[in-house]
Each structure stands twice: as C-alpha cells, then as structure tokens.
C-alpha cells in the first residue's frame, strides 16, 4: 500500500529550519549549473474571468537535485490582491517508482526557498563589509528576504520603501524590535537605494524602476519581481552596467530580469551556481555593482520539500491518504 503524506502550512513551518536549509540550497545551485540533468520548466498562464485581471496560474516541473531520490511538481496560482498572494501545492514523488510521497502547501515553501536564494546570492556577491539593506516592496517576501539576510550577514540597519507609505511604516514598526535591528520607512525610493549596501526588490512591477543613477558604486541588488513575462524591476542600462548573475540563463531572457528590461543573453555574466562552483569569479572590484536576478526554479522547491518530508517522517507529523485504495 502506497500512502501519501499530506502537510499543511502550519505543519511545514514547524518542520523546516531556514538555517539548516542554507547549505543544501547553496549546494543545489552549484549542482544545477554544473550537473544539469533536465532544463528548468516553468509554465505560466493568465486566468480568465471571474479571476482578477492580474491573476495567473503556474506549473513548475520537474524539480530535481542530484543525489535526492525524489522530484517535485508545483501547481500554484498568483492572486496579487489576496493574502497570501501565492496559493497551491507541491507534489513530491519518488524518482524510482513515481509514487506520490507527499502533497504540501506551496506558499510557505515558495517564500522560504526564494528567501534562501536571495540570501545566498547576497552572501556570494555583496561586498564583505556590506551592513545596510534597502527592501523595496513591504510584502511577505520583503520581510522574509530581510530575515534570511540576517542568517548570512551582520546587517545593522534596514530601510523599507513601498508605494504604500502606510505599509512601509507598518513593516518598520512591526519588524524592528522583532529582528533586533534598526528599520526605517523610506519616503523616497532614491534615498533608500543610494544609502544601502544591499538592495532587494520584491514587487509586482511591470515597468523598470531602478536605474544606474539611483545606485551607488559597490551595491549588490537582488531582484525578485521579474519572474514571469510582463514583469520588470531593473532597467536595461542598469543590467548592462553591472555584473548580472541569474539563476537560469534561458529563463532570465524569456521571463526574468533580462527579458523584462527588453535585453537578451548578452547582459548575463553567469549563473549563481557557476559563481558558487568557482567557475566564475563573481564580484571583481569593491566598486562593482552586482545584480542577482531570480526567476525561481523547481529544484529550489525540492530542496525545502525534501527536508520537510524527511523531518515529517521522523516526527510522525501530518496525515496520510492512500490514493490507490480500491475499496
């Protein structure tokens, strides 16, 4: 009898330690760029009415990591006006038999793996003395990016900018004492970006809003918003004048930061996994501007889903369903 483990958001949050997931995720990026077994596959699609005009569905498959005996397929939807904005499931299956090992809520794991990727990229590409960060977009991912950065760098001060000033002030008030660092709400995007060593953009923007004149020399930028066609945060000039590192070269052009800015593969210097593996040197000068453009890849889902599944089995968490039951 093949039973499938069912895990909800609350159960998953108690199972996965971000600190313990950092090194497996870092290694998975390295393996993806050096031992790629299958190409990344993301299938985004708009949804018709009565869904809101900005709603979309997406499938990510297959998520594989060499040495992990399972793969993932993620099916989720993005509804920007809802909270949470991402809703769906990750299906974990056995590579050997195809049996469905687990079905997990996807929103938390998606946010976690995106936060881990941003932190790893900043740790790899930002200057060693980077201590201040600007968060552009005061949503759930902005908060998680800051939390994950604190795992890898001794951040001393943060500022947050959002098109909603109230949301930015709420972000600062709610998280400053909780995280134990100074957080200020910025009234001006230019001021926020020019005064920070690290800039993280996590927005729903459809037009580039960061340009070279807004970024001081030596800054590292992580851009997360451009993860499907029609979204953009970085200008073409900023990408051209920076060291641009992505998670996947093809997807960066078809639906990521490069494509969103209207440029092609000529602006891409390396994949993050290549820098981690030492195949590309990464930052070469203290005054160099570095950018990490993340589309988000299925193997990242597998890293955190596998950790959650293994810990759930160890603890006896969740409940099981036998989808093959005959009677």
pLDDT tens digits, one per residue of 154-191: 999 999 999 999 999 999 999 999 999 999 999 999 99
In angstroms and rounded to an integer, the radius of gyration of the C-alpha atoms of the chain is 19
Write out 34-89 in H/E/C secondary structure.
HCCCCCCCEEEEECCCCCCCCCEEEEEEEECCCCCCEEEEEEEEECCCCCCCEEEE
Q: What distance, in Å, lies between the first and last C-alpha atoms of the chain?
A: 13
> Distance of alpha carbon 327 from its chain centroid, rounded?
42
Taken in order 235, 240, 245, 247, is the CA torsion positive or negative? positive
CA angle, residues 170, 150, 66, in degrees to nearest 5: 120
Residue pair 66/90 in contact by the 8 Å Cβ criterion: no
Residue pair 306/15 in contact by the 8 Å Cβ criterion: no
Name the active-site residue from 227, 247, 248, 269: 227
Between CA 54 and CA 298 the distance in angstroms is 23
Q: How far is CA 8 from CA 58, 59, 153, 285, 318, in A?
A: 20, 19, 31, 45, 8
Domains of the chain: residue spans and CATH: 4-110+299-321 (3.30.1780.10), 126-296 (3.40.50.720)
pLDDT tens digits, one per residue of 31-76: 999 999 888 898 999 999 999 999 999 999 999 999 999 999 999 9
The pLDDT, as a whole number, for residue 176 is 94
Between CA 188 and CA 193 the distance in angstroms is 9
Between CA 121 and CA 139 the distance in angstroms is 20
The pLDDT, as a whole number, for residue 127 is 98
**Under-50 pLDDT residues of the chain:** none
Q: How far is CA 215 from CA 137, 192, 193, 231, in A?
A: 17, 10, 6, 21
Residue 161: which residues within 8 A CB-CB, separation 6 or more?
134, 135, 136, 138, 168, 185, 186, 187, 188, 189, 192
Per DSSP, which regions of the chain are E strands? 4-7, 42-46, 56-63, 70-78, 86-94, 100-105, 132-136, 157-161, 182-185, 198-201, 220-223, 243-246, 270-271, 290-293, 319-321
The pLDDT, as a whole number, for residue 210 is 98
Residue 264: which residues within 8 A CB-CB, separation 6 or more?
253, 258
227 is known as an active-site residue: yes
């Amino acid at each position: 009898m093949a039973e499938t483990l069912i895990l909800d958001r609350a159960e998953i949050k108690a199972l996965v330690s971000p600190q313990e997931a950092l090194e497996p995720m870092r290694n998975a990026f390295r393996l993806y760029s050096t031992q790629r077994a299958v190409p990344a596959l993301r299938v985004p699609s708009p949804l018709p009415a009565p869904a809101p005009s900005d709603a979309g569905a997406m499938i990510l498959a297959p998520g594989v990591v060499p040495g992990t005996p399972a793969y993932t397929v993620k099916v989720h939807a993005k509804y920007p006006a809802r909270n949470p904005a991402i809703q769906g499931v990750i299906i974990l299956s056995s590579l050997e038999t195809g049996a469905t090992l687990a079905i997990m809520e996807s929103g938390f794991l998606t946010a976690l793996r995106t936060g881990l990727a941003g932190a790893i990229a900043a740790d790899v590409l930002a200057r060693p003395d980077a201590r201040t960060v600007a968060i552009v977009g005061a949503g759930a991912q902005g908060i998680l990016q800051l939390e994950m950065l604190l795992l890898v760098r001794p951040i001393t001060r943060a500022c947050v900018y959002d098109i909603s000033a109230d949301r930015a002030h709420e972000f600062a008030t709610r998280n400053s004492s909780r995280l134990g660092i100074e957080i200020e709400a910025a009234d001006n995007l230019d001021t926020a970006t020019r005064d920070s060593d690290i800039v993280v953009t996590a927005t729903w923007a459809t037009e580039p809003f960061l340009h070279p004149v807004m970024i001081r020399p030596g800054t590292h930028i992580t851009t997360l918003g451009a993860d499907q066609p029609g979204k953009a945060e970085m200008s073409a000039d900023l990408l051209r004048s920076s060291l641009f590192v992505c998670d996947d070269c093809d997807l960066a052009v078809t639906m990521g930061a490069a494509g969103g800015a209207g440029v092609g593969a000529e602006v891409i210097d390396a994949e993050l996994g290549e820098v981690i593996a030492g195949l590309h040197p990464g930052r070469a000068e203290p005054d160099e501007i570095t950018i990490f453009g993340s589309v988000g890849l299925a193997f990242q889902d597998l890293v955190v889903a596998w950790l959650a599944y293994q810990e759930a089995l160890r603890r006896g968490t969740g409940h099981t369903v036998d989808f093959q039951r005959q009677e």
